[in-house]
Amino acid sequence: MDDTIIGGTIEGSGRSLLLFGGSGQVGRQLRLALAPLGTTIAPTRAEADLTDPDLLRAIIEHVRPLVIVNAAALTNVDQAERDPTLANAVNATAPGVMAEAARRVGALFVHYSTDYVFDGATRVPYDEEAQPNPINSYGRSKLAGERHVAATDVPHLIIRTSWVYSVTGSGFVASLLRDLPGKSTMRIVADQVGSPTWSRSLANATAALVRTAIRDDAIVLNPSDWGVYHLGGSGEGSRVEIAETVIDALSDRLVERPTIVPISAAAFGALAPRPHYSALSNFRAAKRFGITLQPWRAELQRMVTEEYS
């Protein structure tokens, strides 16, 4: 494989990190957050087709990185419901292939999962010991991916997160920022609660976890520290509360303050069911490594202030 295909020099001195999904909202931030840890190689989506296991194996065998971070996934929940075969290929099979290849080259494997592995039948933030019970194809495919990784004898960190947002893309917050100017009313789902998570903070927390797991050019992560970690914005909030926070942060830039009309998820009419409650407790990362994310409202306000123009 031509070195230039995968975005940079892959031979020579220094440690390398291989990032899948580097063009996504988390991946773009990971490029920055991981940079101090070594040369980060990020194949594009076309160069690393997640439905092609042989290609994934070849990339990993060629690069032979110290760390592999998989931020690539099929995250469109309704698309996953329409095409569960594709969802399983990307979200379940591909991570297992990556983990097996990571084991063969002696790499640490870091993989992202989701709060949607839970059914939402509680009102207490889910910790890492909570029993998963996904209610849609997306959640089932991501849980299968977790289990494929965990079944592989490779040093691994599985990071579950919740309601990731950034200023760009097709997510809820980015859509809000595009739609707010000129809107007098907005219909917002009110009966779903999660832990809104800024992509920059998630990437920085991930880099902090990786930093604890490697030293010089070796993996020093104790096997007792392998496994699942929750990293979501601290606290919990509904989509209505997110919208109110964004509007407050933009109050001096809006001609008029839109009126929020709360609606139910059923009235919104999405194809795939979503858990009504999926807030996360970040207990394990805080206890073992002292890594926490800040309260989500302050983080969201900061993102709007620093990144939205």
Question: Is residue 131 within 8 Å of 176, Cβ to Cβ?
Answer: no
- Do 146 and 73 contact (CB within 8 A), yes or no? no
Is residue 67 within 8 A of residue 17, CB to CB? The reply is yes
Cα–Cα distance, 50 to 29 (Å, whole number): 21
> From CA 139, how far away is CA 275, in angstroms rounded?
10
Contacts of 35 (CB under 8 A, 6+ apart): none
Residues 165 and 172: beta-carbon distance below 8 Å: yes
138 flagged as catalytic: yes
Residue 266 CB neighbour total at 10 angstroms? 10
How many Cβ atoms sit within 10 Å of the Cβ of residue 51?
13
How far from the centroid of its chain's Cα atoms is residue 177's Cα?
Answer: 20
Find the catalytic residue in 138, 165, 229, 277: 138
For residue 164, CA distances in Å to 17, 170, 172, 223 come to 23, 11, 9, 28
The residues carrying an active-site annotation are: 138
